[in-house]
Amino acid sequence: MFLPLHLKVEDRLCVVVGGGKVAARKCRALLDHGARVRVVATAFNADDTWSAEPVEVALSSYEATLLEGAFLVIAATDDGQTNARVERDARAAGRLVMRVDSPDDSDFIFPAWLRRGAFTVSFGTDGTAPTLATVLRDDAKAGFGEKYADLCRLASTARHEPGWRDLDTNGRRDAIRRLARSTVANYPWATQPADVESDFAAMETQPYFAPGHVYLVGAGPGDPGLITVKGVECLRAATVVIHDALANPVLLDMYCAGAERLDVSKRKGMCQHMQPEINAMMIECARRGEVVVRLKGGDPMIFGRVGEEARALAGAGIPFAIVPGISSLASVPAYAGIPVTDREFGAHSLGIYSLHLRNGKGLSDEQWRKMANGPDTLVLFMGMTVIGEAVRNLTANGLPGSTPIALITQGTTDHQRQVFATLDTIVAEIDGMELEGPGLIVIGNVVKAAPAMTWRHVAQEAKELATVR
């Protein structure tokens, strides 16, 4: 196991033994960080690296004397015996040594890294799978842009401002933390080092991720991969997250592990806090200068009560933004193989309904009539516990008992279950089944599409097969 360290090799002699592709890569990395490099080999491949400055080329067989004055040594030949000899000689001379053919016999290894100005992220596997480290590095490139170089520059410049000296250790740490969280997710202005004062002034007026703001964010339907990019940015910037039970807690560990978490457990049958309390909580946190994310399951604009929260924030003078999420409306049926509209099944219109109204009221007779004689596809939210009542009212108002219906629970998660039936058979079908909410109901001919569009078990089998391999 290797301890991650950043070594300064600038103006220090580093010796690379070998003249092939691997040796050239190590030589380029050392040169990029300011090292003086001596390369030793009897032959060199065609590579511009060998003619770069400041490279000292020793076209000869390896001898221990060639390690004199070295800060570190890299054995990168294709001959194991030569590499072993270089290792022994380097250790005898008290030099750090790396063998490219044997991480276990090395004092250090080269991770895959991203560098943005003074900001560096490295990806290492202790030498066991360097290709994997490279793949992970390449996947992360899009997420680590030049804004990170700007942030480091700004943080470094801030330390020379007069006000910095007046802060104690905690104050400085808090200032840097706020600077990072206010800029790293979306750094919207380009500046030169001399503009640090205007940068801080811009931070105070910048509406995106500025302290004292609330972001009403949709977490998606359950699968942690279905949160939006902007939702992730908000979580990364957050200092406080106020979350419902329907928001996957995995998102908190992935994107805002250092933020304060306040669980308000808002879901049917489990309201740990009433809505006025949650409103007051958001306002209080924002007033003390926090970057607050109110994380809600699905899309907060669809049966998420975001309107009540936004109006409460507006009334208190708290700046806020709404970040829509991927709704359960279409995503949960999609994970069950159901398109909510499909012309081959005559589904050209869509109606969405909540079966639980304000103050516990149910739907009126007129609402049931409109629903039964309305859109081609019905999607009913929060209806699992009243599915029997829904079936009775819909059939009583003219919807045929042969109409297909699907009940989908814990949609888009690894625990998703779905039951396919008709209005006449669904209640008997689920009787005695232990189903855990949340549940979504889809009614209409589109349910018939599911057998031909089932895909999750195929994806899961492929995932399991890859794990076994």
Cα 418 to Cα 439: distance, rounded to the nearest angstrom: 9
Residues in CB range of 130: below 8 A, 6 or more apart: 109, 112
Residue carrying the six token digits 């991650």:
4
- Asked if omega into 400 is within 30° of 0 (cis), the reply is no
Q: Please list the alpha-helical segments (H only) found in 169-259.
A: 169-183, 196-205, 229-237, 250-255
Number of residues assigned to the chain: 469
Cα 377 to Cα 371: distance, rounded to the nearest angstrom: 10
Please answer whether residues 114 and 89 qualify as being in contact, where contact means their C-beta atoms are separated by less than 8 angstroms: no
Residue of 89, 150, 223, 244 marked catalytic: 244
> What 3-state DSSP class applies to 16?
strand
Q: Please give the full DSSP string across 145-173, using - where no structure is assigned.
A: -THHHHHHHHHHHHTTSGGGGGS-HHHHH
Structure letter (DSSP) for residue 257: T
Residue of 199, 223, 230, 266 marked catalytic: 266
Q: Please give the full DSSP string across 31-96, using - where no structure is assigned.
A: HHTT-EEEEEES---S-GGGGSTTEEEEES---GGGGTT-SEEEE--S-HHHHHHHHHHHHHTT-E
Q: What angle do CA 142, 145, 148 make, to 5 degrees?
A: 140
| Residue 387, Ramachandran bin (φ over 0: left; ψ between -120 and 50: alpha; else beta) | alpha
424 assigned to active site: no
> What 3-state DSSP class applies to 465?
helix
Q: Which residues pair with 150 in a beta bridge?
A: none
Residues in CB range of 461: below 8 A, 6 or more apart: none
Type of residue numbered 181: R
Please answer whether residues 17 and 74 qualify as being in contact, where contact means their C-beta atoms are separated by less than 8 angstroms: yes
Cα 452 to Cα 450: distance, rounded to the nearest angstrom: 5
Type of residue numbered 327: S
Q: What is the dihedral of CA 237, 275, 327, 338, to 10 degrees?
A: 150
Please answer whether residues 151 and 119 qualify as being in contact, where contact means their C-beta atoms are separated by less than 8 angstroms: yes
266 assigned to active site: yes
- Asked if omega into 162 is within 30° of 0 (cis), the reply is no
Nearest Cα neighbor of 435 from 416, 454, 462, 461 is: 416
Q: Please give the full DSSP string across 216-232, using - where no structure is assigned.
A: EEE-BSS-GGGS-HHHH
Catalytic residues, by residue number, are 244, 266
